Structure 1
Amino acid sequence: MTGWRVGWIIDEPENIEEYAKVSRASTACPPRISQYAAIDALNNDSHVEQMRETYEERRDLLVERMDDLDWDFVAPEGAIYAFPEVGQDSWDFCMKMIDKGVAMVPGEPMGPESDEKVRICFGSTTKKEIEKAFDTLEKELN
């Protein structure tokens, strides 16, 4: 249910308040339709394997294309994004690429060691869009 802004945690009662603090900041006002869809999804898991395969295909394509650019990265194993090092200031890189139609998130706000990294999400991006984005990246970087 990636991107639906719904979820749950099962833990010991003494830990729940700490999770609630994070939840208030990260899942405020989830859309009602997402909540109803989550209920339906929990009662029918026929979509799970299809979604897993779709994310895996997108991830594999993203990894292949990042390899082609010789970027340093750790292949995602559970997340719907990659965090490659692009070898230049992440803000400058992202601003230059957004002008070319490729949107990424600068890594610098995520920590001092991330100022040359970018976050690339593949959760709702099609394989065709990934191909187009990386064709543009290759053209601009070569």
Structure 2
Amino acid sequence: MYAAFAAGDIPGVLALLADDVVWNEAEGNKLADRSPYVGPQAVLEGVFERLAQDFAEFSVEIDMILDEGDLVVTQGRYHAKARGSEVEIHPRIASFWTVRNGKIAAFQQHVDTLILSKAIGEPDLSGAVIQPQV
């Protein structure tokens, strides 16, 4: 999946998602407003298309993969350049993937969402109380 994403092959990425994939962005991420995304079309429209609106460049570098059967945990960094501000970011990430019948059935993102927000010029939320998603 990461190879397809790196090549810009979004149809290839989507083909790896189960029809009923449940995709969750990290709490506090701008893209978490519609989490969970259910199905590849929802992930395309709610995550990938919106990500392209905010970032002129976006790649993922994975430096560790733990495979525990149906659960795969990855660790790495995002490398991105925000549109407009040209701010470059490289936050650490951890992702939890559930694989079923060779397809990605679930995804949970973990990333420093403040870094993402500041890069795209979202307002400073210091002091705000943000409720976790239920």
TM-score class, shorter:
under 0.3
Relative to its length, the structure with more helix (as a share) is 1
- Which structure ranks higher in relative contact order (CA pairs < 8 Å, sequence separation ≥ 6)? 2
TM-score normalised according to structure 1 size? 0.24
Decide which structure has the larger Cα Rg and report it.
1
TM-score normalised according to structure 2 size? 0.25
